[in-house]
Amino acid sequence: DYRYDAIFVQTGHHGRIGKDGGRYGEDDFLKFGRDYKCLLSFLRQYSDKIIIETIYDSVIPPKILKADKYLFKGKIHRCLVRLGLEKEIPDDTINGVTRRKNDIVMSLAASEPYPVILLDINGIMNMTGYVHIDHIHFEDAAKMFIAHRMQEML
């Protein structure tokens, strides 16, 4: 059996609708926690070093002019945000679920019988000036920054 030096886990971005198709409820959060714990137990057979990452907050998708999007790949929008002429608006509906899931992830990191390492990448990214290109993904310049934060965990 192959053993990995480390396994990174970041999951939960897309599950923000409850099992009944409505709002995410308490049963859904409990299931998320149970499933995450099972995933960690399963992964232990492949590595002793498991790094779990928090989930990124969401913003209301920015309105990017078509000319900016296609000709400049959103550079004008990013400049306007950095200058404070446009603002990224947090999506509080989605982020309410994200906060609860992140609380579960952090709790698991603190309470697992076998150590897991927590990378609060959401908290780190919230303190940077990187701009979203859509509701959750950051501009290309953020990729190397995120990769370096992950590398530090190794």
Q: What does the DSSP 8-state code read for residue 44?
A: T
pLDDT digits (tens, 9 = 90+) for 35-70: 999 999 999 999 999 999 999 999 998 788 888 888
pLDDT range class, residue 125, cuts 50, 70, 90: very high
Cα–Cα distances (Å) from 36 to 25, 80, 153, in that order, read 17, 39, 20
Q: What was the pLDDT predicted at 45?
A: 93
Strand partners, 118: 52
pLDDT range class, residue 135, cuts 50, 70, 90: confident
pLDDT digits (tens, 9 = 90+) for 84-106: 888 899 999 889 999 999 999 99
Residue that is written with structure tokens 């953020």 in the block = 142
pTM for this entry: 0.86
Q: Is 12 left (phi over 0), alpha (psi -120 to 50) or beta?
A: left
- Say if residue 3 is exposed, middle or buried (CB neighbours under 10 Å; 0-12, 13-18, 19+): exposed
pLDDT digits (tens, 9 = 90+) for 8-39: 999 988 776 777 777 888 999 999 999 999 99
Q: What was the pLDDT predicted at 70?
A: 85
- 149 pLDDT exceeds 80? yes
